[in-house]
Amino acid sequence: MSEGLVHLLQLLVSGVVTGGIYALVAMGFVVVYKATHVINFATGEFMMLGAFFAWTAMSALSAPFAVALVAALLASALLGMATERLVLRPLLGQRTISVIMVTIGLAAIFKGLAQIVWSGDYRSYPAIFPRAPIALGPLLLPSRQFYPFLIALAAIALVGLGFRFTRTGTAMRATADDQMAAFGMGIDIRRVFSLSWSLAAMTAAVAGVVVGIIGGISPQLGAIGLRTFPVVILGGLDSIGGALLGGVVIGVLENLAGGYVDPLLDGASLKEVVPFVVLVLTLMVRPYGLFGTREVERL
Amino acid sequence: MLIGNYKETYAADEAILRTPATRVWTVVALGAALAFPFLAGDYLLYLVNLMGVLAIGALGLNILIGFTGQISLGHAAFMGIGAYGTAILASRFGLPFWITIPAGGALACAGGMVVGVPSLRVKGLYLAIATLAAQVILEWVFTNWTSVTGGIRGINVAPASILGFPLDTDTRIYFLILGVAVLHFVLATNLRRSRWGRAFVAVRDRDVAAEIVGVNLFRTKILSFMVSSYYAGIAGGLWVYFTKVLTPENFPLSLSIQFLAIVIVGGLGSIPGTVYGTVFMTLVPEMLKAGTGLVRGVWPDAQSYLFPLRDVVFGLLIVVFLIFEPHGLAEVWNRVKRFFSLWPFAK
Amino acid sequence: MAEIPVATTEDRDILCVEGLSLSFGGLAALTAVDLSVRAGSITGIIGPNGAGKTSLLNCISGFYKPQSGRVSFDGRDVSRVAPDRRAALGIGRTFQNVALFEGMSVLDNVKLGAHARLRSGILATMAMTPGARREEMRLREEVENEVLDFLEMEHLRHRTVGSLAYGLQKRVDLARALAMRPRVLLLDEPVAGMNEEETEDMARFILDVQEERGVTVVLIEHDMGVVMDLCDRIAVLSFGERIALGTPAEIACHPEVIRAYLGEEAA
Instruction: Flag if C114 and B206 touch (Cβ within 8 Å).
Output: no
Question: What integer is the mean pLDDT of A160-178?
Answer: 78
CA–CA distance from A182 to each of A186, A190, A195 (Å)? 7, 11, 15
Contacts 24+ apart (CB under 8 A), C2-9: C6/C211, C7/C40, C7/C210, C7/C211, C7/C212, C7/C214, C8/C40, C9/C38, C9/C39, C9/C40, C9/C41, C9/C232
The candidate with the shortest Cα–Cα distance to B311, out of B290, B280, B288, is: B288
Whether C83 has a pLDDT exceeding 70, the answer reads yes
At A289, the pLDDT band (50, 70, 90 cuts) reads confident
Cβ-nearest to A109 among B69, B124, B319 = B319
Q: What is the pLDDT of residue B220?
A: 95
Residue A271 lies in a domain: no
pLDDT tens per residue across span B291-332? 888 888 787 777 788 888 989 999 999 999 999 999 999 999
B225 and B116 Cβ atoms separated by less than 8 Å: yes
**Total CB pairs under 8 A between chain A and B:** 135
Q: Is A102 an 8 Å CB contact of chain B?
A: yes
Q: Is C22 an 8 Å CB contact of chain A?
A: no
Contacts of B75 (CB under 8 A, 6+ apart): B57, B60, B61, B131, B228, B232, B255, B256, B259, B260
Q: What is the pLDDT of residue C266?
A: 45
Chain B 81-140, CB below 8 Å of chain A: which residues?
A: 115, 118-119, 121-126, 128-130, 132-134, 136-137, 140
Instruction: Flag if B315 and A109 touch (Cβ within 8 Å).
Output: yes
Instruction: Flag if C102 and B205 touch (Cβ within 8 Å).
Output: yes
Instruction: Flag if C120 and B205 touch (Cβ within 8 Å).
Output: no
Q: Which chain C residues are within 8 Å of B10, Cβ to Cβ?
A: 137, 140-141, 144
Q: What is the pLDDT of residue B124?
A: 65
- To 5 degrees, how large is the angle CA C73–CA C77–CA C82? 85
Residue A107 lies in a domain: yes
pTM value is 0.91
Distance of residue A111 Cα from the nearest chain B Cα, in angstroms: 7
Residue A151 lies in a domain: yes
CA–CA distance from A39 to each of A273, B24, B118, C122 (Å)? 21, 46, 19, 31
Distance of residue A237 Cα from the nearest chain C Cα, in angstroms: 20
Mean of per-residue pLDDT scores for chain C: 89
Cβ-nearest to B214 among C99, C103, C116 = C116
pLDDT higher at B136 or A167 = B136
At A297, the pLDDT band (50, 70, 90 cuts) reads very low
Instruction: Flag if B309 and A97 touch (Cβ within 8 Å).
Output: no
Tell me the percentage of chain A whose pLDDT exceeds 70.
96
- A267 to chain B: closest CA residue: B144
Residue A285 lies in a domain: no
Q: What is the pLDDT of residue A295?
A: 55
Q: What is the pLDDT of residue B17?
A: 74
CA distance linking residue C236 with residue C256, whole number of Å: 10
Kindly calculate the radius of gyration of chain B based on its CA atoms and give it in whole angstroms: 21
Residue A250 lies in a domain: no
Instruction: Flag if B10 and C104 touch (Cβ within 8 Å).
Output: no
pLDDT tens per residue across span B3-54? 455 677 887 788 777 778 888 888 999 999 999 999 989 999 999 999 999 9
Q: What is the pLDDT of residue A168?
A: 77
Residue A221, CA atoms < 13 Å, CB-side half-sphere: 35
Identify residues of B whose CB sits under 8 angstroms from chain C CBs: 10-11, 13-14, 187-188, 190-191, 193-199, 201-202, 204-206, 208-217, 223, 227, 269
Whether C7 has a pLDDT exceeding 60, the answer reads no
Q: Which chain A residues are within 8 Å of B73, Cβ to Cβ?
A: 41, 104
Q: Which of A104, A229, A282, A296 should be substituted to probe chain B, the one whose Cβ sees the most B Cβ atoms within 10 Å?
A: A104
Tell me the percentage of chain C whose pLDDT exceeds 70.
93
Mean of per-residue pLDDT scores for chain A: 87
Distance of residue B143 Cα from the nearest chain C Cα, in angstroms: 33
Q: Which chain A residues are within 8 Å of C62, Cβ to Cβ?
A: none
Q: Is A296 an 8 Å CB contact of chain C?
A: yes
pLDDT tens per residue across span B217-276? 999 999 999 999 999 999 999 999 999 999 999 999 999 999 999 999 999 999 999 999
Question: What integer is the mean pLDDT of C110-120?
Answer: 93
Q: Which chain B residues are within 8 Å of A265, Cβ to Cβ?
A: 144
Whether C264 has a pLDDT exceeding 60, the answer reads no
Q: Which chain A residues are within 8 Å of B123, Cβ to Cβ?
A: 295
Q: Which amino acid is at A257?
A: A
Whether C147 has a pLDDT exceeding 50, the answer reads yes
C100 and C176 Cβ atoms separated by less than 8 Å: yes
CA distance linking residue A70 with residue A58, whole number of Å: 11
Q: What is the pLDDT of residue C5?
A: 47
Tell me the percentage of chain C whose pLDDT exceeds 90.
71
- To 5 degrees, how large is the angle CA C14–CA C17–CA C22? 150
Report which secondary-structure segment, H or E, holds B180.
Answer: helix B170-192
Question: What angle separates helix A3-36 from helix A167-177, to the nearest 10 degrees?
Answer: 70
**Which residues form the domain of A68?**
14-124+141-225
Residue A257 lies in a domain: no
A77 and A202 Cβ atoms separated by less than 8 Å: yes
Chain centre distance of CA B99: 21
The candidate with the shortest Cα–Cα distance to A298, out of C61, C173, B68, C63, is: C63
- C176 to chain B: closest CA residue: B213
Put residue C62 in one of left, alpha, beta given phi > 0 → left and psi -120 to 50 → alpha: left
Instruction: Flag if A296 and C63 touch (Cβ within 8 Å).
Output: no
Distance of residue C2 Cα from the nearest chain B Cα, in angstroms: 37
Residue A234 lies in a domain: no
A139 and A12 Cβ atoms separated by less than 8 Å: no
- Between A8-22, A205-219, B333-347, the lowest mean confidence (pLDDT) is in B333-347
- C103 to chain B: closest CA residue: B205
Contacts of A83 (CB under 8 A, 6+ apart): A42, A106, A197, A201
Instruction: Flag if A283 and B126 touch (Cβ within 8 Å).
Output: yes
Instruction: Flag if B209 and C100 touch (Cβ within 8 Å).
Output: yes
Q: Is A86 an 8 Å CB contact of chain C?
A: no
Cβ-nearest to A100 among B128, B309, B310 = B128
Question: What integer is the mean pLDDT of A95-123?
Answer: 91
At C10, the pLDDT band (50, 70, 90 cuts) reads low
pLDDT tens per residue across span C212-226? 999 999 999 998 889
Chains in contact with A via at least 3 Cβ–Cβ pairs below 8 Å: B, C
Whether A120 has a pLDDT exceeding 60, the answer reads yes
Q: Which chain B residues are within 8 Å of A105, Cβ to Cβ?
A: 261, 314-319, 322
User: Within a 10 A sphere around the Cβ of A295, how many other Cβ atoms?
Assistant: 12
CA distance linking residue A288 with residue C229, whole number of Å: 49
- C99 to chain A: closest CA residue: A299
Chain A 120-159, CB below 8 Å of chain C: which residues?
A: none
Mean of per-residue pLDDT scores for chain B: 90
B82 and B228 Cβ atoms separated by less than 8 Å: no
CA–CA distance from C69 to each of A57, B2, C20, C30, C157 (Å)? 66, 56, 4, 10, 41
Chains in contact with B via at least 3 Cβ–Cβ pairs below 8 Å: A, C
Whether C11 has a pLDDT exceeding 80, the answer reads no
- A237 to chain B: closest CA residue: B126
Backbone phi, then psi, for A169, in 5-degree steps? Answer: -60, -40
Residue B220, CA atoms < 13 Å, CB-side half-sphere: 29
Residue A6 lies in a domain: no
pLDDT tens per residue across span C55-82? 999 999 998 999 999 999 999 999 999 9
Whether B2 has a pLDDT exceeding 50, the answer reads no
Structurally, chain A folds into a number of domains equal to: 1
Q: What is the pLDDT of residue C128?
A: 93
Provide ipTM, 2 decimals: 0.89
pLDDT tens per residue across span B51-102? 999 999 999 999 999 999 999 999 999 999 999 999 999 999 999 999 999 9
